[in-house]
Protein backbone atom coordinates (compact mmCIF):
# COMPACT_ATOMS: atom_id res chain seq x y z
CA UNK A 1 0.00 0.00 0.00
CA UNK A 2 1.28 3.42 -0.94
CA UNK A 3 1.39 6.35 1.40
CA UNK A 4 -0.86 9.29 0.63
CA UNK A 5 -1.79 12.67 2.05
CA UNK A 6 -3.92 12.41 5.19
CA UNK A 7 -7.37 13.98 5.03
CA UNK A 8 -7.31 17.59 6.18
CA UNK A 9 -10.27 18.26 8.44
CA UNK A 10 -10.46 21.94 7.54
CA UNK A 11 -10.06 24.19 4.53
CA UNK A 12 -6.82 25.87 3.49
CA UNK A 13 -8.17 29.23 4.67
CA UNK A 14 -9.50 27.91 8.00
CA UNK A 15 -6.44 28.91 10.00
CA UNK A 16 -6.43 32.52 8.75
CA UNK A 17 -5.20 35.00 9.81
CA UNK A 18 -2.59 33.04 11.77
CA UNK A 19 -1.62 30.72 8.95
CA UNK A 20 -2.55 32.02 5.53
CA UNK A 21 -4.37 30.08 2.84
CA UNK A 22 -1.54 30.11 0.30
CA UNK A 23 0.99 28.77 2.80
CA UNK A 24 -1.42 26.01 3.84
CA UNK A 25 -2.15 25.00 0.28
CA UNK A 26 1.50 24.92 -0.83
CA UNK A 27 2.64 23.27 2.38
CA UNK A 28 0.07 20.49 2.18
CA UNK A 29 -0.20 19.87 -1.57
CA UNK A 30 3.43 20.48 -2.54
CA UNK A 31 5.80 20.09 0.42
CA UNK A 32 4.05 17.24 2.21
CA UNK A 33 3.20 15.53 -1.08
CA UNK A 34 6.87 15.67 -2.11
CA UNK A 35 7.88 13.77 1.04
CA UNK A 36 5.21 11.15 0.33
CA UNK A 37 6.36 10.74 -3.27
CA UNK A 38 9.97 10.23 -2.17
CA UNK A 39 8.89 7.82 0.57
CA UNK A 40 6.87 5.70 -1.86
CA UNK A 41 9.69 5.77 -4.40
CA UNK A 42 12.36 4.56 -1.97
CA UNK A 43 10.08 1.85 -0.56
CA UNK A 44 9.57 0.40 -4.04
CA UNK A 45 13.00 -1.17 -3.59
CA UNK A 46 11.99 -2.69 -0.25
CA UNK A 47 8.49 -4.15 -0.68
CA UNK A 48 8.59 -6.06 2.62
CA UNK A 49 8.85 -2.77 4.52
CA UNK A 50 5.66 -1.35 3.02
CA UNK A 51 3.60 -3.74 5.13
CA UNK A 52 5.16 -2.48 8.35
CA UNK A 53 4.08 0.42 10.50
CA UNK A 54 6.02 3.57 9.62
CA UNK A 55 6.47 4.60 13.26
CA UNK A 56 8.03 1.21 14.07
CA UNK A 57 10.33 1.41 11.07
CA UNK A 58 11.49 4.82 12.23
CA UNK A 59 12.14 3.54 15.76
CA UNK A 60 14.29 0.77 14.32
CA UNK A 61 15.95 2.72 11.54
CA UNK A 62 19.44 1.59 12.55
CA UNK A 63 18.65 -2.09 12.05
CA UNK A 64 16.73 -1.79 8.77
CA UNK A 65 18.19 -3.78 5.94
CA UNK A 66 18.58 -0.88 3.53
CA UNK A 67 21.40 0.71 1.62
CA UNK A 68 22.77 3.67 3.56
CA UNK A 69 21.77 6.23 0.96
CA UNK A 70 18.23 4.83 0.89
CA UNK A 71 18.12 4.87 4.66
CA UNK A 72 18.82 8.60 4.58
CA UNK A 73 16.06 9.16 2.01
CA UNK A 74 13.71 7.01 4.10
CA UNK A 75 14.55 8.93 7.30
CA UNK A 76 13.93 12.30 5.65
CA UNK A 77 10.83 11.44 3.62
CA UNK A 78 9.25 9.11 6.19
CA UNK A 79 9.91 11.69 8.89
CA UNK A 80 8.52 14.41 6.63
CA UNK A 81 5.32 12.42 6.19
CA UNK A 82 4.88 11.58 9.88
CA UNK A 83 5.77 15.07 11.10
CA UNK A 84 3.43 16.90 8.75
CA UNK A 85 0.59 14.45 9.39
CA UNK A 86 0.71 15.27 13.10
CA UNK A 87 1.07 19.01 12.43
CA UNK A 88 -2.17 19.09 10.37
CA UNK A 89 -3.97 16.98 12.92
CA UNK A 90 -3.27 19.11 15.98
CA UNK A 91 -4.30 22.38 14.34
CA UNK A 92 -7.78 23.89 14.14
CA UNK A 93 -9.46 27.16 15.01
CA UNK A 94 -11.95 25.13 17.01
CA UNK A 95 -10.52 24.30 20.39
CA UNK A 96 -10.63 20.69 21.41
CA UNK A 97 -8.71 20.83 24.67
CA UNK A 98 -7.13 17.61 25.82
CA UNK A 99 -7.69 17.87 29.58
CA UNK A 100 -5.48 14.91 30.38
CA UNK A 101 -2.60 16.41 28.40
CA UNK A 102 -3.09 19.80 30.07
CA UNK A 103 -2.91 18.13 33.46
CA UNK A 104 0.32 16.38 32.53
CA UNK A 105 1.79 19.60 31.11
CA UNK A 106 1.03 21.40 34.37
CA UNK A 107 2.58 18.55 36.34
CA UNK A 108 5.76 18.63 34.26
CA UNK A 109 6.29 22.30 33.41
CA UNK A 110 4.41 24.06 36.23
CA UNK A 111 1.74 25.73 34.12
CA UNK A 112 0.49 25.90 30.55
CA UNK A 113 2.07 29.37 30.28
CA UNK A 114 5.48 28.07 31.35
CA UNK A 115 5.16 25.20 28.90
CA UNK A 116 4.28 27.60 26.08
CA UNK A 117 7.23 29.83 26.89
CA UNK A 118 9.70 26.96 26.93
CA UNK A 119 8.28 25.42 23.77
CA UNK A 120 8.21 28.80 21.98
CA UNK A 121 11.81 29.53 22.93
CA UNK A 122 12.85 26.12 21.66
CA UNK A 123 11.08 26.75 18.34
CA UNK A 124 12.44 30.28 17.94
CA UNK A 125 16.01 29.43 18.84
CA UNK A 126 16.26 26.30 16.69
CA UNK A 127 18.98 27.03 14.14
CA UNK A 128 17.98 26.40 10.54
CA UNK A 129 15.22 24.08 9.38
CA UNK A 130 13.54 21.72 11.78
CA UNK A 131 10.75 21.19 14.27
CA UNK A 132 10.00 21.92 17.92
CA UNK A 133 8.60 18.94 19.78
CA UNK A 134 6.70 17.98 22.87
CA UNK A 135 7.27 14.26 23.21
CA UNK A 136 6.70 11.42 25.59
CA UNK A 137 10.02 9.75 26.29
CA UNK A 138 10.77 6.10 27.00
CA UNK A 139 9.76 6.61 30.65
CA UNK A 140 6.47 8.26 29.63
CA UNK A 141 7.75 11.66 30.77
CA UNK A 142 6.98 14.77 28.73
CA UNK A 143 9.97 16.51 27.17
CA UNK A 144 10.53 19.51 24.93
CA UNK A 145 13.31 19.67 22.35
CA UNK A 146 13.92 20.57 18.74
CA UNK A 147 15.21 18.32 15.98
CA UNK A 148 16.83 19.31 12.68
CA UNK A 149 15.42 18.73 9.20
CA UNK A 150 12.65 16.11 9.17
CA UNK A 151 14.07 13.99 11.98
CA UNK A 152 11.27 12.26 13.84
CA UNK A 153 11.18 11.78 17.63
CA UNK A 154 10.50 8.11 16.86
CA UNK A 155 14.20 7.93 15.93
CA UNK A 156 14.87 8.53 19.65
CA UNK A 157 12.21 6.03 20.66
CA UNK A 158 9.98 8.92 21.74
CA UNK A 159 6.33 9.48 20.87
CA UNK A 160 5.44 12.88 19.41
CA UNK A 161 2.63 14.78 21.13
CA UNK A 162 2.82 18.35 19.80
CA UNK A 163 4.95 19.62 16.95
CA UNK A 164 5.67 22.93 15.32
CA UNK A 165 7.21 23.19 11.86
CA UNK A 166 9.86 25.93 11.83
CA UNK A 167 11.06 25.36 8.28
CA UNK A 168 10.77 28.67 6.43
CA UNK A 169 8.21 27.15 4.02
CA UNK A 170 5.83 26.95 6.99
CA UNK A 171 5.72 30.70 7.52
CA UNK A 172 7.79 32.68 5.02
CA UNK A 173 4.98 33.94 2.74
CA UNK A 174 3.16 35.62 5.60
CA UNK A 175 5.84 36.26 8.19
CA UNK A 176 9.02 36.43 6.07
CA UNK A 177 11.94 36.25 8.53
CA UNK A 178 9.75 36.81 11.61
CA UNK A 179 9.71 33.30 13.01
CA UNK A 180 8.94 34.54 16.52
CA UNK A 181 5.70 36.14 15.32
CA UNK A 182 4.64 32.92 13.57
CA UNK A 183 5.35 30.93 16.73
CA UNK A 184 3.40 33.38 18.90
CA UNK A 185 0.39 33.33 16.55
CA UNK A 186 0.49 29.57 16.10
CA UNK A 187 -0.82 29.00 19.62
CA UNK A 188 -4.17 30.35 18.36
CA UNK A 189 -4.56 27.35 16.07
CA UNK A 190 -3.22 24.60 18.30
CA UNK A 191 -6.44 22.92 19.27
CA UNK A 192 -5.33 20.57 22.05
CA UNK A 193 -4.20 22.96 24.77
Chain residues binding Mn ion by CB under 5 A are 165, 167, 170
Is 130 or 144 the residue whose CB approaches Mn ion more closely?
130
C-beta of 43: minimal distance to Mn ion in Å? 21
Minimum separation from the CB atom of position 166 to Mn ion (A): 9
Rounded CA-CA distance 177/31 in Å is 19
Residue 2 beta carbon to Mn ion: minimum distance, rounded to whole angstroms:
21
Angstrom distance (rounded) from CA 150 to CA 10: 24
Q: How far is the CB of 63 from Mn ion (least distance, A)?
A: 28
157 vs 178: CA distance, rounded Å? 32
Q: How many CA atoms lie within 13 A of 16 on its CB side?
A: 10
Residue 119 Cβ vs Mn ion, minimum distance, rounded to whole Å: 17
d(CA 163, CA 166): 9
Phi and psi at residue 130, to the nearest 5°: 165, -160
- Between 46 and 167, name the residue whose CB sits nearer to Mn ion: 167
Give 4 or 111: the residue with its C-beta nearer to Mn ion.
Answer: 4
Nearer to Mn ion, 119 or 171 (CB): 171
For residues 151 and 165, which CB has a smaller minimum distance to Mn ion in the complex? 165
Pairing between strand 159-165 and 130-136? antiparallel
Q: Which of 10, 167 has the CB closer to Mn ion?
A: 167
Query: How far is Cα 174 from Cα 133, in angstroms, rounded to an integer?
Result: 23
Spatial neighbors of 184 by CB under 8 A, at least 6 apart, are 120
CB of residue 131 to Mn ion, shortest distance in Å: 8
**Ranges of H-type helices in 44-94:** 54-59, 68-90
Amino acid sequence: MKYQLPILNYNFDSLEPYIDKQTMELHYTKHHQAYIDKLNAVLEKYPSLTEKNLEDLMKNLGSLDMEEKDKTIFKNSGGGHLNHSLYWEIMSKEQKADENLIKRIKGTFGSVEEFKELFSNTAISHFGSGWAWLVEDENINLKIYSLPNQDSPYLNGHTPVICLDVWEHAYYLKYQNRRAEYVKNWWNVLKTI
